């Protein structure tokens, strides 16, 4: 913010303070004019608009009380009218006389009530108007659902467990949380199911990094039971199948290797169908196809080059195509 903007903002705040002071001292016309000036210079000041509304309301109430006073003065001229009526021979209304002590007591009681009301109103104006207007500008906070709070707390605990690689602990907690979410009105278990799939993906990654591809693949398949369209889990399953295929091929079990390669490609095709820009999945898909289906491999490399020619995957695909003398 520039110095000029700071100065302008300071002047607006000063005008606001003068307007509030005028409002509290019952100078409603002055207050209204000051708040109008603030709104002209800062149209988005909601507090200025609220204060202006209060000034108008108080000004309207004051005008009504002045009209009532004038009517009382007109009614008080009834004595003169009675005198004119007597002079003209018309009947004069009979006056009702009250004891002096009763009149005095009524006056004193009325004065006490008026003083008490005036004191309460003055106190309210001095201490409550600003708070009331600020409360109007403050956004209302919706009531907190204790069930949702508990779900949020369980999700945080699950994240902490994953950070410690306590995957089974996190999954057990999330399964219970899923039951709670399913009992909501309306039921909403899907976000929890997606979270469960994410934890399974982390579990797959931990097993994969230790080259325990059987356990990794088992975890990926368990995760897909909660989210069968998860690109992440399908990609991890494809990587596990590809590794198991390479292991079978190194043991000269070509039939078993081909089965694993086909399953890897099936999983990776699901990834690129759900996420057409998933370059790592395309890259692994092309390499895996090349081990048992050259035509499919060439098609996949062409798709990679078309999708992202300058990416590392795109450059690798170009090399594969050039090696096979394919443009």
Does 122 share its domain with 185? no
| Residue in this structure with the two tokens 């195509």, named with its chain if needed | 321
Expressed as residue numbers, the domain containing 178 is: 141-211
Does 55 share its domain with 156? no
pLDDT tens for the chain, residues 1 to 327:
555 556 667 888 898 899 899 888 989 899 889 989 988 888 878 888 888 888 888 877 776 555 455 444 434 444 434 433 333 344 444 444 556 656 667 787 887 878 777 766 666 566 565 665 566 566 666 677 787 788 888 888 889 999 998 989 999 999 888 888 878 777 778 888 888 989 999 999 999 999 999 999 999 999 998 889 899 999 999 999 999 999 999 999 999 999 999 999 999 999 999 999 999 999 999 999 999 999 999 999 999 999 999 999 999 999 999 988 886
**Rounded-to-integer distance, Cα 217 and Cα 199, Å:** 14
Helices vs strands, H then E, count in the chain: 14, 0
Query: How many CA atoms does the CB half-sphere of 297 hold within 13 Å?
Result: 20
Does 192 share its domain with 245? no
Q: Where are the alpha helices (DSSP H) in 25-99?
A: 28-41, 46-75, 78-87
| Residue in this structure with the two tokens 């693949």, named with its chain if needed | 217
Q: Is residue 49 part of a domain?
A: yes
Output the pLDDT for position 70.
46
Structural tokens at position 205: 């990654």
Does 8 share its domain with 130? yes
Residue 275 DSSP code: -
Q: Is residue 64 part of a domain?
A: yes
Does 33 share its domain with 127? yes
Q: Is residue 79 part of a domain?
A: no
Q: What is the CATH number of the domain that holds 251?
A: 1.25.40.10
**Rounded-to-integer distance, Cα 299 and Cα 272, Å:** 14
Query: Cβ neighbours of residue 133 under 8 Å, at least 6 residues apart?
Result: 47, 50, 51, 54
Output the pLDDT for position 128.
60
**Of 190, 242, 251, 200, whose CA–CA distance to 221 is shortest?**
200
Number of domains in the chain: 3
**Rounded-to-integer distance, Cα 161 and Cα 180, Å:** 20
Query: Cβ neighbours of residue 304 under 8 Å, at least 6 residues apart?
Result: 279, 282, 283, 286, 313, 314, 316, 317
């Amino acid at each position: 913010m520039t110095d000029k903007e700071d100065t302008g903002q300071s002047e607006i705040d000063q005008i606001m303070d003068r307007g509030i002071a005028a409002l509290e001292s019952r100078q409603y016309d002055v207050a209204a004019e000051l708040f109008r000036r603030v709104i002209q210079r800062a149209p988005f000041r909601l507090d200025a608009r609220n204060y202006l509304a209060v000034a108008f309301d108080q000004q309207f109430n004051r005008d009504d009380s002045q009209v009532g006073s004038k009517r009382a003065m007109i009614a008080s001229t009834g004595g003169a009218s009675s005198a004119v009526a007597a002079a003209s021979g018309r009947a004069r209304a009979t006056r009702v006389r009250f004891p002096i002590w009763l009149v005095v007591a009524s006056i004193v009681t009325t004065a006490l009530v008026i003083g008490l009301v005036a004191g309460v109103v003055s106190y309210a104006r001095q201490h409550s108007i600003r708070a009331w207007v600020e409360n109007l500008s403050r956004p209302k906070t919706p009531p907190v659902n204790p069930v949702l709070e508990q779900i949020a707390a369980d999700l945080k605990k699950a994240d902490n467990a994953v950070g410690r690689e306590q995957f089974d602990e996190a999954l057990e907690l999330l399964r219970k949380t899923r039951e709670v979410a399913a009992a909501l009105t309306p039921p909403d278990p899907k976000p929890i199911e997606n979270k469960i799939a994410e934890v399974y993906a982390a579990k797959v990654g931990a097993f994969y990094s230790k080259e325990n591809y059987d356990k990794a693949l088992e975890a990926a398949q368990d995760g897909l039971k909660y989210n069968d369209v998860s690109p992440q889990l399908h990609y991890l399953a494809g990587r596990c199948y590809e590794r198991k295929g390479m292991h079978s091929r190194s043991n000269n079990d070509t039939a078993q290797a081909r089965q694993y390669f086909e399953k890897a490609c099936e999983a990776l095709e699901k990834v690129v169908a759900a996420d057409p820009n998933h370059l790592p999945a395309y890259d692994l898909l092309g390499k895996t196809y090349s081990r048992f289906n050259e035509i499919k491999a060439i098609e996949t490399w062409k798709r990679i080059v078309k999708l992202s020619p300058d990416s590392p995957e795109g450059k690798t695909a170009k090399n594969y195509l050039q090696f096979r003398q394919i443009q």
